[in-house]
């Protein structure tokens, strides 16, 4: 069966060759373009190189070449997908340190690069977010997106974004970082605990025991007893392997999203009851 141009275009985005996509990032970074301030042809790479000493995250590195060499050395064991995300995040962070005049040719070239990363990341089920002044790539989880939106209603947006950061590609296997994020989510949810247990709409939907919503109480039991908020002899995960601990952390994360979204469910039920009465 013949296919339209748009059907072929859509299918091609589902079969990305990430080795080629990595090459495209380098192509855009090294692509020459006219820079008004310098009155000369330049490239994003050359501008990064010139301004590297002012890069806020340069650590002990003296040149962009040294940083890239170190990054490539430490990424040998990563999958091609993880290497793509790693290099994309590095360049996005480096570009964010440049002095960019809105509407300039430099601005357009940086946007061109960012859009390319966004398109490829979206095709792989990921997206770009800004968290704590950094642009990072996270899994595009619809439930996590909605939960983060709910949390922004009562807390700082930066704190709410920690919900999305749990899905950062580098956190796979990183139980310490997942633990830190879960502790932050637990602290965010603490003020909800009493109001939730008094919510009649939610009680009508979920199992209740001794006038308390069991899903909520068990979630806080996990926060307090599963090596997240405390470090004492009462902790339950101490003797488990790292893989088993990470599995429990992922389950607790899912439970956290469920409870956060319960706030929206309770409001929908309250609106429904008011509408039909």
pLDDT band at residue 192 under the 50/70/90 scheme: confident
Predicted confidence (pLDDT) per residue in 89-132, tens digit: 999 999 999 988 888 899 999 999 999 999 999 989 999 999 88
Cα 257 to Cα 247: distance, rounded to the nearest angstrom: 16
Report residue 129 as tokens.
């977010």
Report residue 264 as tokens.
């929206």
pLDDT at 268 over 90: no
Q: Tell me the average pLDDT across 143-149.
A: 90
φ/ψ of 75, rounded to 5, equals -110, 10
Cα 203 to Cα 210: distance, rounded to the nearest angstrom: 11
8 A C-beta contact, residue 204 and residue 269: yes
Q: To the nearest whole number, what is the mean pLDDT of the chain?
A: 90
Helix, strand, coil: what percent of the chain each, to 5? 65, 10, 30
Interacting residues of 7 by C-beta distance below 8 A, sequence separation 6+: none
Length of the chain: 277
Q: What angle do CA 147, 149, 153 make, to 5 degrees?
A: 110
Domain ranges of the chain: 16-134, 189-276
Report residue 69 as tokens.
């060499």
Closest CA to 139 of 165, 159, 115, 176: 165
pLDDT band at residue 39 under the 50/70/90 scheme: confident
Start-to-end CA span in the chain (Å): 55
Cα 213 to Cα 198: distance, rounded to the nearest angstrom: 9
pLDDT band at residue 13 under the 50/70/90 scheme: low
- Half-sphere exposure of residue 68: CA atoms within 13 angstroms, side-chain side: 13
Report residue 192 as tokens.
């909800």
For 12, counting Cβ atoms within 10 Å of its Cβ (0-12 exposed, 13-18 middle, 19+ buried), the class is exposed
Beta strand ranges found along 155-243 (DSSP E): 208-209, 212-213
Q: Tell me the average pLDDT across 13-31.
A: 90
8 A C-beta contact, residue 101 and residue 90: no
Measured CA to CA in angstroms, residue 228 lies from 115, 163, 223, 236 at distances of 37, 15, 6, 10
What pLDDT score was predicted for residue 262?
Answer: 87
Residue with tokens 């308390």: 212
Residue 274 CB neighbours (<10 A): 8
Q: Quick one: CA torsion of 124, 130, 132, 134, rounded to 10 degrees?
A: 70
pLDDT at 223 over 90: yes
Closest CA to 169 of 28, 68, 18, 13: 18
Asked whether the whole model's pTM tops 0.85, one would answer no
Closest CA to 168 of 86, 227, 110, 228: 86
């Amino acid at each position: 069966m013949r296919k339209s141009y748009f059907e072929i275009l859509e299918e091609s985005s589902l079969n990305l060759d990430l080795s080629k996509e990595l090459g495209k990032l380098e192509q855009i970074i090294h692509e020459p373009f006219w820079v008004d301030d310098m009155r000369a042809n330049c490239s994003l790479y050359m501008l990064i190189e010139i301004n590297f000493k002012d890069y806020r995250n340069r650590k002990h590195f003296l040149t962009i070449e040294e940083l890239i060499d170190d990054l490539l050395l430490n990424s040998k064991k990563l999958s091609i997908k993880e290497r793509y995300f790693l290099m994309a995040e590095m360049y996005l962070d480096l570009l964010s340190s440049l002095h960019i005049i809105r509407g300039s040719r430099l601005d357009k070239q940086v946007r061109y690069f960012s859009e390319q990363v966004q398109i490829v990341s979206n095709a792989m089920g990921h997206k770009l977010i800004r968290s704590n002044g950094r642009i990072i790539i996270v899994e595009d989880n619809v439930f996590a997106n909605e939960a983060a939106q709910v949390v922004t209603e009562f807390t700082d947006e930066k704190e709410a974004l920690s919900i999305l950061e749990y899905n950062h590609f580098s956190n796979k296997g990183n139980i310490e970082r997942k633990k830190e994020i879960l502790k932050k989510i637990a602290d965010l949810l603490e003020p909800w605990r009493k109001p939730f247990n008094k919510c009649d709409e939610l009680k009508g939907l979920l199992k209740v025991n001794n006038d308390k919503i069991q899903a909520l109480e068990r979630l806080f039991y996990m926060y307090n007893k599963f090596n997240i908020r405390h470090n004492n002899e009462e902790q339950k995960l101490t003797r488990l392997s790292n893989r088993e601990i990470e599995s429990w952390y992922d389950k607790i994360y899912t439970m956290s999203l469920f409870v956060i979204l319960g706030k929206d469910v309770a409001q929908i039920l309250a609106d429904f009851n008011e509408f039909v009465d």
